[in-house]
Amino acid sequence: MLPTELSRYVAAGCLSLAKTGNRLPDEIWSLVQPGEWHHLVSFTDSDSDEQDGIRSQHQRNGNGHHQAAQDHAGSHRLVFLDPGVQHCLVSHPGPLAPFGALLRKGWVHMSLGISLNDPEMALVRVYLLPDDIENRSIPRSDAALRKARLSLLAQLDFSRSTWRGETSAHCSPSPLPFADSEETAALQVGEEQQSLLQMFNSMPSPDPRPEDICDLDVRDAAYRLLNSDVPGLTTTLYLYQRRSAALMLQRESQTQQVLDPRLAVVADQLGSPWYYDAVAGTVLREPRHYDAPCGGILAEEMGSGKTLICLALILATRHIPSATPDHLRTDEPVIRRRVGSLADMAAACITRNSVPWKHVFCGLGSDDVEYPRCVDAIRRNEGFYHLPPPPRRRVTRQPATTPPPTKIRLSHSSLVVVPPNLVQQWKEEIAKHTMGLKVLIMDKKQQLPPVEELVEYDIILFSSTRFERLWEDHPDFDRTGSQILSSPLATIHFKRCIVDEGHKLGNSTMHKKSNLHLIIDHLQISAKWIVTGTPSKGLFGVDNKTPSQHPNGGPRHPTRQQVESSPDMEREDLRRIGSIATLYLHMRPWANQWAEVGDTPADWAVYVMQPRHSARSTGSAACLRTTLESLIIRHRLSEIGDLLPSVDEKVVWLDGSFQDRLVLNLFSMMIIFNAVQSQRTDQDYFFHPRQRKALIELVSNLRQASFFGGSFFSPAQIHKAIDTAEDFLREGKVPISAADEALLRDAIDFGRLAVRNSIKTCANLFREVPLYIQNFPFGAGREWSLDLEDGDPVLTDSRLVSALQKFLHPLVDAPTSLQIMFDSGRFAERGREERLKGIEDQVPNGEAAAQQKGQQKRLAGNTEQGQDNSSPGRRRSAILTNLMIPKSDETAISAETAAEADVAASLAGVQLIATASAKLSYLVDQIVKHQQSEQIIIFYENDNVAYYLAGVLDVLQIQYLIYAKGLTPQRRAQYVATFNHNPKFR
């Protein structure tokens, strides 16, 4: 218990002053005994009368003796330090001189004592005056004093033992956390060790509390959501969908108070709580709260029905209009040109106060009774408010011309912005799950209707490209010279804005906002939501179960043991979430501005990011968790995993083919050449920090090469790397270890082996996956091969085989003509033409080759990243076109004559027996096996994979559709519909 004089202060921590090196007055050691604490007098002008009396008495009797004063309670006595000794301590160059101003102004109080276990050590107890106490009498805006207090806090030892007078070698640089129990303290320690991904997956699932909602209409809507009894919703919601939608509604309508995340709840030396911001040095006795964002991030798993959750929320609240912001409300009476009817006055009162009326007058309820005359009166008296113009940025001598305020209309509308490829999906979901919604779809170049029509829609659905074009189609400038939005949307107050796949908003920064950000900043919106299963690249669902706990023998999602997150990835993920919280949701205190009075900006990178993310980050796990929970709504996988359709997962381990292993070892060879010749130190080393871009490209190429890497590394590139390595060994200018020399020689030997491999050479020459064809027609496969070798099987590729099929197809019904063509040599001549064309297609023209050569960057040892130099344009056009050749009629080739029988037998015996890629061979085998009875979806990482696979499917005449990046949204929707309803497409 502190004396009355100190009860307003926080008993924080101690300063330790050694007898030697701190210029301490010698009188301290004789005047102060161990276990005694002598207080320093504060010279603030705001002391109470009692303190003035104590100081006067102390000064009258201060001839070298310490004097005691008793407080009102009579239970504690303050013993004051000799004035001369205090002057030596706080004056320049005394040890407390940097903090003398804090003491004089009353920002701190101090007392001096001698260590109980080290008589050569003096201790100074420091009491802090909280910023939320006595602000009128003791101002806290002095920047110099705040800086001095921050320096003092950085030097304090907050340990309890030091406060009791026992010094030790180990000090506590931070206050002890205030915990109600040992379990709470242990939980806080465990949180500090959690990764961001673990924290994301261990967030509590939504737990809405409709009883806490004050507005009765909103509370009723929340209960309807929880019961899946929403008028117009034709689909019964799962329990988790109901909880998510209800919590979204609760966050929209019932603003939650959250503790300022910059503050840590800590305990003083008496065990009482106080609130501390270690970065700014803020000290508070009472907590400071902010309103949680009105909106957030709906981050349910992919396939869990996030679109349906949003539609349910819109349906449940479509009768509730948006409301005038509190700070723009006015009690001024409405002045009419003439006396209005009772119906008009009642209607104006309804709209002005945002009273829900649609479920009463528009037949949205169970009775389905409409009142058109009442509706007409309400629409004649629309709800609105006036938005004042923004303040002038700077004062000028020009006369101030204040523009009129903007009239903002209240509405029932929700604004939805989705990627172009999801517009069709939203249209289908609306038609499938809802009825009665009035929807306006703005895609492509449709013109916006007037405001009077816009406010009548329940949903205004924009494609993101069409929405961002508003910034260019409707530009204007305010009186400050800043561009503003003059679109009709800027005169409507929307209930909410939903951005589907909105994680892309995390790419923006304060100084480089996307057009979507700029437009939304100029709109009046009550609640803002982002819908995405992955708020950032490194945040996704992780299964807490082990593989043995899953009924199908394997986890649906990666387990914690299978996922690792690096500090670099976490930092980037947090940066993206911070951008969303600051620029889109305008979440306090991260969106605070310097111009605001009574508040200060908060740096997300400092307070939220953890020390492992950067040197300037000081955030705690508690701050991070609190922030995430106030932003994100999602269920844990364990709670929804059983509700999703069952998936039988099977992991197939493939042994790479000889060509697969050959190319992957070529990458290893290049890395060895680079590592040894760069000595693993300089900037020519792949793994040097300055070569991050080259390393990323190398890893990307390795991933591509795992499907098939034959097109990587030409013989010339391999030869050059080998020659450089041999010159390096022969010259011996750089000493290397015996192990490195052996490693380098092994790599050289392997390079020579790779150069001699003819299949690898052909694959690089044609940029194709080699195929093996057995029983080639008439034994004439040499001219249609890649290596111009006789024998069986024939080494060729899908392009040559497809050309052969198209060449032979018109002659299938004319075996005599076929025989003549073979005998005349036309068959072999056409093969040579197609082979030469395949080579020419891969040779760039002179200008392109020179530019490509100039752009190539070589590191130590003439090593490259293995960039595939094939034309991406040609491959992209190839995979967007399915050149399917109709299967010939089995009766077309008859055996009427011996010659016809020979031709038929020659063609019928042709077989595709293998490819040079183990992955491609496995995929083709599985497609052929299941294509008659199953529809098959194949996901691929890059266009080359689709190109190689499509070539083989063309050869086998298997119909397919490719859902590639180059497809238009309409073509994508057409492909999906075709795949779902046409059994021919497997």
Q: Cis bond leading into 93, ω under 30°?
A: yes
Per-residue pLDDT tens for 324-344?
A: 988 888 877 777 778 878 888
Task: Please state the φ and ψ torsions of residue 510, each to the nearest 5 degrees.
Answer: -60, -35
Q: Taking each helix axis from N to C terminus, what angle separates 738-756 and 758-766, rounded to the nearest 10 degrees?
A: 70
The whole model's pTM is what? Answer: 0.73
- Mean pLDDT throughout 360-365? 70
pLDDT (tens digit per residue) in 235-251: 999 999 999 999 999 99
**Residue ranges with strand state E in 444-500:** 459-463, 475-477, 483-485, 492-500
Average pLDDT, the chain: 80
Quick one: pLDDT at residue 878? 41
Q: Identify whether 777 is preceded by a cis peptide bond (ω within 30 of 0).
A: no
Position 846 scores a pLDDT of 45
pLDDT tens string 177-201: 887 544 444 445 555 567 888 888 8
Query: Residue 716, class by beta-carbon neighbours within 10 Å (0-12 exposed, 13-18 middle, 19+ buried)?
Result: exposed
* Measured CA distances, 562 to 77, 199, 509, 546 (Å): 63, 16, 32, 10
- Average pLDDT of the segment spanning 867-893: 42
Write out pLDDT tens, residues 661-709. Answer: 999 999 999 999 988 888 888 778 878 877 878 888 888 888 888 888 8
Asked whether the predicted pLDDT for residue 260 surpasses 90, the reply is no
Of 10, 494, 481, the closest CA to residue 267 belongs to 10
3-class secondary-structure state, position 269: coil
Return the DSSP state at 370. B
Residue 860: partners with Cβ closer than 8 Å, 6 or more residues away = 673, 674, 677, 678, 682, 684, 685
- Cα–Cα distance measured from residue 583 to residue 465, given in angstroms and rounded to the nearest whole number: 19
Rounded Cα–Cα distance for residues 175 and 277 (Å):
11
Could you tell me how many residues make up the chain? 986
Provide DSSP, 275-314.
EEETTTTEEESS--EEEPPSEEEE-PPTTS-HHHHHHHHH
Site of tokens 């951008």: 579
Say how far apart CA 231 and CA 515 lie, in whole Å: 36
Residue type, 221: A
Residue 633 has pLDDT above 90, yes or no: yes
Contact partners, residue 27, CB within 8 Å, separation at least 6? 82, 84, 85
> Which is nearest to 856 in space by CA: 714, 672, 658, 650?
714
* Least confident segment among 53-62, 564-573, 575-584, 651-660: 53-62
CA–CA separation, 385 and 369 (whole Å): 31
Strands (E), 723-833: 771-774, 794-796
Listed in sequence order, the residues at least 6 apart from 889 whose beta carbon sits closer than 8 Å to its beta carbon are: none
Most distant CA pair in the chain: distance in Å?
Answer: 137
| Selection from 671, 742, 706, 624 nearest residue 262 by Cα | 624
CA distances from 61 to 3, 194, 472, 739 (A): 22, 59, 80, 84
404-445 residue pLDDT tens:
888 999 999 999 999 988 898 899 999 999 998 999 998 777
What single letter denotes the amino acid at residue 912?
A: L
Can you spell out the DSSP letters for 507-542? Answer: G-BTTB--HHHHHHHTSEEEEEEEE-S-SSTT----
Question: For residue 734, which amino acid is it?
Answer: V
Yes or no: say if 463 and 442 are a contact pair by the CB < 8 Å rule. yes
Record the tokens describing residue 682, joined without a space: 């300089």
pLDDT of 880 higher than 60: no
Q: How far is CA 458 from CA 322, 357, 414, 667, 841, in A?
A: 12, 14, 6, 57, 55
User: What is the rounded average pLDDT of the residues 361-382?
Assistant: 77
| 128: β partners | 10, 108
| pLDDT value, residue 903 | 60
Tens of pLDDT along 98-147?
999 999 999 999 999 999 988 889 999 999 999 988 888 888 888 899 99
In the block, tokens 């929405």 appear at: 467
Beta strand spans in 143-234 (E)? 176-177
